[in-house]
Structure 1
Amino acid sequence: MRKLLAVLVPLALLLGIPTTNAVASEDAQAPATIHNVTFVNQTGQTIWIGAAVNADSSVNMSGLPTLANGQSATVTIPEGAWPYHWRGKFFGRQGCTGQSGSTFKCAVGDCGPYADRCTLGEQPTSLAEFNFDQNDGLAPWYNVSYVNAFSLPITIRANNAQGGPPECETMGCAENLLPYCPQVNKRVGTNGTTPYCLNLDRDNKTAYSNALSSRCPKAYAWSKQDAEGGNQTVRQCRNCSGFTVTFHGV
């Protein structure tokens, strides 16, 4: 994917789509819409929600939920303060053990010693990525990324959306893609049991990206997939109250 989480420009510019280009000042009134993201756990196991942000998004999130199978929880995106955007990613940490703040560690998606927040860069995992930019009239932007790895199936659905397809479409897929993981990409977590599929070459088309894309075209499988003609990797939803991110089972 086109460095959604590393660049400092709106995704709309990366895709060649015009944006509002309005630049707010520190005294400007923030737009009223504040979005929520609801996480749903349908994995059959407990997951710990992790989050990380772009370098230009100053507010990393804490108080993230731990979800037993069947549970859900909602967080509010911190997009209302200057510079009126939040660009980042969420993921499900698996196989976590230990005491939060000291010995806490996850077999897949580990991102530091806390159960409710991340303090380190995460290990490769499935991602739900967002660009909440209140200065971009086409935002929010959203996508599912298996560019680094496939660990859990993810879907993203816009809540209370006003807009027809392809705007506000559900992205990702609920299908378990581990059975289609090439042998060379198969891995297990640090606990020796939790499986995932590691992308060994994120910037080129490979057997990994071909296998995953053929089963789940509405998710990134390699970093430049959004440049391919007819790709279905990214969507935007100008009018919605937020999103539901569902983690499915493997």
Structure 2
Amino acid sequence: MPSNKTHYRALYRYLVFDGILASSATVFTLQNHCAYTVWPGTFCGNGIATLGDGGLSMAPGASVTFPVPPTWSGRVWARTGCNFDASGNGKCATGDCGGFLKCPGGGEPPVSLVEFTIGRDASDKDFYDVSLVDGYNVGVGVKAVGGTGDCQYAGCVTDLNLNCPADLQVKDSGSVVACKSACAAFNTPQFCCTGDHSTPETCSPTNYSQLFKDACPTAYSYAYDDASSTCTCSGSDYLITFCPN
């Protein structure tokens, strides 16, 4: 995290987000450690504020910082293989969101997701995780900075595209660019935790989800993987790194 963390806290102390006064904004810092450009997408699930206008481009080594208001709930992900025109219309090989640079909704699976629900204030808990429930496209990690509580690291450092089973692979120009979830690949209750498998007691890990879990122990590998994958912290800023070491 940059050394000017205190400066950001002061600067954003009374920012207004979509008409909502934020008494103390959390700060997200996104870093691209990939050897290629990524196009992060952001989506707010509760309508409080859109981060980075919903999407942007980040060259290798780039970083960008966003203030995030209290009670913000949403997701961040990386898109790859994108090509946009001057109006922001185009297409991405992975993580596409309707063909727009500035995402109006979530990313198209398979995609590695960072999920957040920010607390009401610095004493309230933030909840966050890295999820592979919708599959995997890019390694990502979340590090809490300056908070109190458990504040665990969440992430998937291993490149799952290298060992993705053949029936889960997504290819572009002959190369594996993403790895589907078993739910997306086979669409059965067993793999999707639906129907007769819609509860934690009836939806267990599968061979496919276990491959994800073995490679990335702190990431969600299937819908009910809460115990080892949901992280909490209070009063923290967050460093979100694509292709973490």
Between 1 and 2, higher relative CO (CA 8 Å, sep ≥ 6) is seen in: 1
Q: Tell me the equivalent position of 1:199.
A: 181
Does 1:238 pair with 2:234? Answer: yes
Cα distance, 1:158–1:136 mapped onto 2, change above 3 Å: closer
1:135 positional shift: 6.7
Query: Matched residue of 1:208: which SS?
Result: helix
In structure 2, how many angstroms separate the alpha carbons of the residues matched to 1:215 and 1:194? 17
Query: Matched residue of 1:225: which SS?
Result: coil
Q: Tell me the equivalent position of 1:130.
A: 116
Cα RMSD (Å): 2.5
Q: How does 1:81-96 map to 2 (within 5 A)?
A: 84-96=70-82
In structure 1, how many angstroms separate the alpha carbons of the residues matched to 2:86 and 2:67? 23
In structure 1, how many angstroms separate the alpha carbons of the residues matched to 2:86 and 2:135? 25
Q: Unmatched 5+ residue regions in structure 1?
A: 1-28
Q: Tell me the equivalent position of 1:216.
A: 216
Q: Tell me the equivalent position of 2:10.
A: none
1:139 positional shift: 2.1
**Could you tell me whether the CA contact under 8 Å between 1:132 and 1:140 is conserved in 2?**
yes
**Could you tell me whether the CA contact under 8 Å between 2:123 and 2:235 is conserved in 1?**
no
Does 1:175 pair with 2:126? Answer: no
Instruction: Please report the TM-score for the alignment, with normalisation by the length of structure 1.
Output: 0.74
In structure 2, how many angstroms separate the alpha carbons of the residues matched to 1:248 and 1:181? 17
Cα distance, 1:102–1:91 mapped onto 2, change above 3 Å: closer
Does 1:111 pair with 2:106? Answer: no
**Could you tell me whether the CA contact under 8 Å between 1:143 and 1:172 is conserved in 2?**
yes
Which stretch shows the higher mean deviation, 90-99 or 104-113?
A: 104-113
Cα distance, 1:102–1:142 mapped onto 2, change above 3 Å: closer
1:232 positional shift: 1.5
In structure 2, how many angstroms separate the alpha carbons of the residues matched to 1:47 and 1:175? 17
**Could you tell me whether the CA contact under 8 Å between 2:52 and 2:66 is conserved in 1?**
no
Cα distance, 1:119–1:192 mapped onto 2, change above 3 Å: farther
Hey, which of these two has a bigger chunk of helix by percent? Answer: 2
In structure 2, how many angstroms separate the alpha carbons of the residues matched to 1:220 and 1:86? 21
In structure 1, how many angstroms separate the alpha carbons of the residues matched to 2:176 and 2:37? 12
**Aligned AA for 2:239?**
T
**Could you tell me whether the CA contact under 8 Å between 2:123 and 2:234 is conserved in 1?**
yes
Q: Tell me the equivalent position of 1:21.
A: none
**Aligned AA for 2:23?**
A
In structure 1, how many angstroms separate the alpha carbons of the residues matched to 2:24 and 2:121? 12
**Could you tell me whether the CA contact under 8 Å between 1:52 and 1:90 is conserved in 2?**
yes
Instruction: Please report the TM-score for the alignment, with normalisation by the length of structure 2.
Output: 0.75
Cα distance, 1:225–1:98 mapped onto 2, change above 3 Å: same
Q: Percent identity?
A: 26
Work out the number of aligned pairs and report it.
206
CA displacement, residues 181-231 of structure 1 (integer Å, 9 cap, x when unaligned): 222111125x664511001324353222110101211000111111xxxx3
**Aligned partner of 1:68 among 50, 54, 59:** 59
**Could you tell me whether the CA contact under 8 Å between 1:152 and 1:249 is conserved in 2?**
no
Does 1:53 pair with 2:68? Answer: no
Q: Unmatched 5+ residue regions in structure 2?
A: 1-19, 184-191, 194-202
